[in-house]
C-alpha cells in the first residue's frame, strides 16, 4: 500500500496542498510526484477552487530536492518515466489557469526550487534557502530549472546559482526577484492564506486571462503578446463576471464573481 505523502484541504475557494515526507525533508520521489499529479488533475480543477497554496510539512524543508537514492539506480526507462512525470507536474502547476502560491519553509533545493519556480507567486520564510545544486552530483536541473529560473531572474544570476550549486538565502532570493515576499516563519501560512483568500475572491476568468497573457506572451514578440492580450481582454466583455464586476463598482459594493 502506497503511503500518502500529499495532504489536501479546501476552504473558501482555496486548495491547500502539503507535501508531507518529513523524514526525507519532503523530497520528491515517484510516489510524491504521482500524488501531486493526481491532485492537480482532480481537486485543483474543480470549479469552486479559485487558488492553490503549496507548502511542505514541518519547518525544515519546503522540498529539499529529488530523492537521489531513488533516481540513482533507475534504468533508462525508469529515468525517463520520472523525468516526464516531474515535468508534467511542473507544467500543470504553471498552466493550471488558477493562481498557485508557494509557501516556502526551509530548504527549496533542486526539484524543490523547481517546484517553487513553477508556482506563480512565492512567499518565503526568512529561514528558507534556494538552490539548484545538481552540478555537485554530476547532474543538471531536469524539472525546468534552467528555463524558469533564467526567465525569472536573468542569465547571470541563474547561471551563477546553477554552475556553483551554492544556495542563496531568502533575502537574496527576494533581491534577485525569485520570491515576492519574505516573512517570519510563524507568519508564513497566515500571510500566504490571506493572499490566497484575496485571489479566491477575484474574478476567475479574468485571472485565467492574466496568467495566459503573461505566461504565453513571454515566449512571443511584443507585437504578438499585445495581440494576445487584446484577444483575451475582448473576450472578458462576454462574461457575466464582467457585468457583475462593473455593476458592483458602480453600486459601491463587493462583487460576487461566479466564474461565468
Catalytic residue among 41, 70, 134, 171: 134
Distance CA 37, CA 160 (A): 31
CA angle 189, 130, 56 (to 5 degrees): 35
Catalytic residue among 41, 48, 77, 114: 114
**What is residue 219's DSSP assignment?**
T
Distances (CA, A) of 50 to 84, 108, 119, 159, 232: 27, 25, 14, 35, 19
Q: With contact defined as beta carbons under 8 Å apart, do 243 and 258 qualify?
A: no
Instruction: Identify each DSSP E strand in 40-163 by its residue range.
Output: 51-56, 61-63, 100-104, 107-109, 121-125, 129-131
Q: Pick from 20, 87, 17, 18: which is nearest to 52 by CA?
A: 17
108: CB partners within 8 A, 6+ apart: 61, 62, 63, 102, 115, 116, 124, 128, 129, 130, 131
Question: Is 134 among the residues known to form the active site?
Answer: yes
Q: Pick from 41, 127, 55: which is nearest to 85 by CA?
A: 41
Distance CA 86, CA 71 (A): 12
Q: Pick from 60, 59, 71: which is nearest to 28 by CA?
A: 71
- The residues annotated as belonging to the active site are 114, 134
Amino acid at each position: 500500500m502506497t503511503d500518502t505523502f500529499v495532504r489536501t484541504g479546501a476552504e473558501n475557494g482555496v486548495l491547500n496542498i502539503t507535501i508531507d515526507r518529513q523524514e526525507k525533508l519532503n523530497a520528491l520521489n515517484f510516489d510524491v510526484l504521482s500524488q501531486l499529479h493526481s491532485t492537480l488533475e482532480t481537486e485543483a480543477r474543480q470549479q469552486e477552487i479559485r487558488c492553490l497554496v503549496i507548502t511542505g510539512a514541518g519547518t525544515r524543508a519546503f522540498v529539499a530536492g529529488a530523492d537521489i537514492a531513488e533516481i540513482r539506480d533507475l534504468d533508462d526507462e525508469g529515468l525517463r518515466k520520472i523525468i516526464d512525470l516531474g515535468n508534467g507536474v511542473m507544467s500543470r502547476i504553471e498552466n493550471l489557469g488558477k493562481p498557485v502560491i508557494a509557501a516556502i519553509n526551509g530548504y527549496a533545493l533542486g526539484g524543490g526550487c523547481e517546484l517553487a519556480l513553477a508556482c506563480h507567486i512565492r512567499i518565503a520564510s526568512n529561514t528558507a534557502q534556494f538552490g539548484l545544486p545538481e552540478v555537485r552530483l554530476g547532474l543538471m536541473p531536469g524539472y525546468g530549472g534552467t528555463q524558469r529560473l533564467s526567465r525569472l531572474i536573468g542569465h547571470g544570476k541563474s547561471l551563477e546559482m546553477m554552475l556553483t550549486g551554492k544556495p542563496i538565502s531568502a533575502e537574496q532570493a527576494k533581491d534577485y526577484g525569485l520570491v515576492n515576499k519574505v516573512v517570519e516563519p510563524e507568519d508564513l501560512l497566515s500571510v500566504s492564506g490571506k493572499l490566497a483568500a484575496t485571489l479566491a475572491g477575484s474574478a476567475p476568468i479574468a485571472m485565467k486571462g492574466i496568467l495566459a497573457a503573461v505566461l504565453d506572451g513571454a515566449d512571443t514578440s511584443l507585437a504578438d503578446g499585445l495581440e494576445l492580450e487584446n484577444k483575451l481582454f475582448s473576450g472578458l466583455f462576454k462574461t457575466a463576471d464582467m457585468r457583475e464586476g462593473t455593476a458592483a463598482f458602480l453600486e459601491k459594493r463587493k462583487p460576487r464573481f461566479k466564474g461565468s
